[in-house]
Each structure stands twice: as structure tokens, then as C-alpha cells.
Amino acid sequence: MIQSGVAGLVAGGAYAMLAVVVVLMFRMVRVLNFSLAAIGAFGTFTMSAVYAHDQSYLVATLAGVGAAAGVAALLGAVMALWFADARIETRSTVAIAMLIGLLMIGYRVFGDQPRNVPSLFGSHGIKISGVVVTHDAIAIVVATILVAVGLSVFLGRTRVGLRLRALSERPQTAELLGVPARWLAIAVWAAAGAITALGTQMVAPTRANAFADLSLLIIPAFAAAAIGLFRSFYLALAGGIGIGILEGIATNYSSIAPYQSVVPLVVVVLMLMWSQRQEVWDVAR
């Protein structure tokens, strides 16, 4: 039981990392980015391809992260140039179209077969009172926590972070004060792509990792982000890890095991409905 919960940690860590980025983009660049995991998959497959050419893990990772950041920056530029003042619904719909385009390109470039994505630590792990925790699980959870803390500090303490927060609250007013909205938005997209590539790369060795499979990681990531009400990094983090553990535990019960991925979705619906319980109208006035 505990072991199966722990087995869900790697997946949970990846959900959490993606969820944190979903929250970042929702807050800072006003988009629910459906294409996020596909961007990550792009990076992961680049990494795998570079690794296959006898490059070191580090070089391959840098290549993957760079590729993802590049793709994301490109998409971010489309968004910043064409949909700068558009509503979040429109921007998110654009992201859906981007997902479909990326899936096609990913399929063309990388094929539809799962890839051999190298794992950093293999199957090694440490044993804590009878329960095995893999190094991979520890690595991804730690990395996710670092990302969440790092983003909080960055937004809270730096001048660029401050300007981003201003931009997220009143984009037009921030622009009137000379904040370069477009460039900052593109930078956020690039950073989001890079972090996501790290997350998908770390989870890819442990599960079905065809391009489309990795792209659909966005659904549990949305679920986790919804637990943070698309606002809180730390709740999204906890939500992602919680969903991973829940999925792991669900494998223990034969009656619900097949539906393990549905469990978090029910949680999401309830969370969203609770969070929106007071909103009555579509616009304030």
C-alpha cells in the first residue's frame, strides 16, 4: 500500500512540475496552455535523440531544454504579437490549436513510437523502513520543489518578477509604465518550455512515452493546477504529488485500478466548483 503510493511519486513529481508551470503561465501570461506538455515532449525527444548520438546526459539535457525553450518562445511570440489583448478563452483556444500542430510536427520529426529516454539514476533507490524510494523519484520531487520555491522567490524578490506580477494584474497599465510586455511574455513562455522539458524528461523513462502520451500529461497537470485554483504554486505542487500518490494507491484495488486516472479528475471537478461557488456573472459589470 505505502509502496504503491510511493511508486506514484515519479509521476506525481512530473504532474506537479507541469502544474506549477501551468499556474505560472495562467497567472503571468494569461493562458491555459494546452500545448505545454507537448512542448515538453519536444524537448524530451530532442534529448533522447542527442543522447543516442553518444552525447553525455548533461549535453543531451541541455539540448532538450534548449529545444523546448525555443519552440515555446516561438509560440509565445505568436501569442504576444497576434493575441496580446485577446481574452484568456481565445488565447487558450489558440493553445489548443498549437497542441494539435505540435502533435503533428512531433509525430513527423520523432515518429509515434516510444523512445528510449535515459534515466538519471536507473532503478537504484534507497530503502526507508521497508519501502523503496528510487533516486529518480527523489530527484524529481526535489527538482519540483526547487522550481516552485525558485519561481516564488523570483516573482517576489526580483525586479523582473515584480514587473511580471504587475503585468499579470493590469497588462495595459504596466505597458503604460514602460514595462515591455511582449518581450517579458515571450521570456515566460521560453522559461515555461524549459522547465516543462525537464519535468517530462524525468518522468519519460518510467511510463509510456510516445509523443502523444507525453503531450497528454497536460490533463493531470491541469488537475493539479486546479487544486491550486490556478493561483498557488505550492498547492499545485502538493496537488500534483497527491494525484500521483492517489493513482499509485488506486492500483492496489482491483475494482478501481483500471480507473486510476479518473480519480483525480473527480477531485478537480469538485475543486473547481467549490472555488467558483460565488461567481455569478461572466463579467464584473
Partner 1 sequence: MSRASVLRSPREALLGLGPVVAVGLPLVLAGTLLSPYGKFLGTTALVLAIVGLSLGVVTGRTGMISLCQMGFAGLGAWVMLWFATHASGAPFLLAVLVSGLAMLPVSLLVSLPALRLRGVNLAVITLAFALTVQIVLSVNDFPGNSDGVTVTRPSWLETDGSFLWACAGIFVVIAVGLAVLDRTRLGASWRAVRHSERAAAALGRSVARVKLSSFALSAFIAGIAGALLAAQLGSVEIETFVPLTSLTAFAIAIMVAAQYPEGALLAGALGVFLPELFQSWNIPQDYTNLLFAVGAIVGLKGGLGGAEAIRDGLRRLIGANERPLLLDAPDGGAIAPAAAVAADRHDDPRGPAPAKDGTAALEIRGLSVTYGSVKALDDVSLRVEPGTVTALIGPNGAGKSTLVDTVTGFIRGYSGEILVDGHAIDGLLAHQRVRAGVRRSFQQDRTIPDLTVEQYLRLALGSHRGSARMSAAELQELLDFFDCPPQHRRLSGVDVASRRLVEAAAAVAARPSVVLLDEPAAGLPAAESERLAASIAQIPARFGPAVLLIEHDMELVVAAATQAVVLDFGKVIASGSPATVLSDSVVVSAYLGDEVSV
Partner 2 sequence: MSGLRLTALCVPRVGFTIVREVDLHAPAGEVTVLLGPNGAGKTTLLEAVSGLIPSNGGKIELDGVDITRASRVRRARAGLAHVEQGRTVFAELTTQENLRVAAIDDDAERAALAHFPELEQRLHVAAGLLSGGEQQMLVIARALASRPSMLLVDEASSGLAPVIVRRLMPVFRQLADDGIGVLLVEQFAALALGIGDQGHVLNRGQIRLSGPCEELAAEPARLREAYLGAGQALADLPSAT
Q: Dmax of the chain from CA atoms?
A: 60
Instruction: CB nearer to partner 2: give 173 or 252.
Output: 173
Instruction: Specify whether the CB–CB gap between 46 and 252 falls below 8 A.
Output: no
DSSP helix, strand, coil percent of the chain (3-state; round to 5): 75, 5, 25
- The residue from 54, 157, 176, 280 that contacts partner 1 (CB under 8 A) is 280
Instruction: Specify whether the CB–CB gap between 112 and 210 falls below 8 A.
Output: yes
- Looking at residue 56, the DSSP 8-state letter turns out to be -
90 binds partner 1 (CB under 8 A): yes
135 binds partner 2 (CB under 8 A): no
- The residue from 88, 169, 207, 253 that contacts partner 2 (CB under 8 A) is 169
92 binds partner 1 (CB under 8 A): yes
179 binds partner 1 (CB under 8 A): no
SS3 label, residue 65? helix
- The residue from 2, 52, 78, 128 that contacts partner 1 (CB under 8 A) is 78
For 92-122, give one letter per residue: b (16+ CB within 10 A) or e. Answer: bbbbeebbeebbeebeeebeeeebebbbeee
176 binds partner 1 (CB under 8 A): no
SS3 label, residue 126? strand
Instruction: CB nearer to partner 1: give 57 or 259.
Output: 259
Helices (H), 83-210: 88-110, 135-157, 159-169, 171-176, 181-203
- The residue from 175, 229, 251, 265 that contacts partner 2 (CB under 8 A) is 175
The residues binding partner 1 (CB under 8 A) are 32, 34, 78, 82-83, 86-90, 92-94, 96-101, 103-105, 107-108, 212, 216, 219, 222-223, 226, 258-259, 261-262, 265, 268-269, 272-273, 276-277, 279-283, 285
The residues binding partner 2 (CB under 8 A) are 159, 162-163, 165-166, 169-170, 172-181
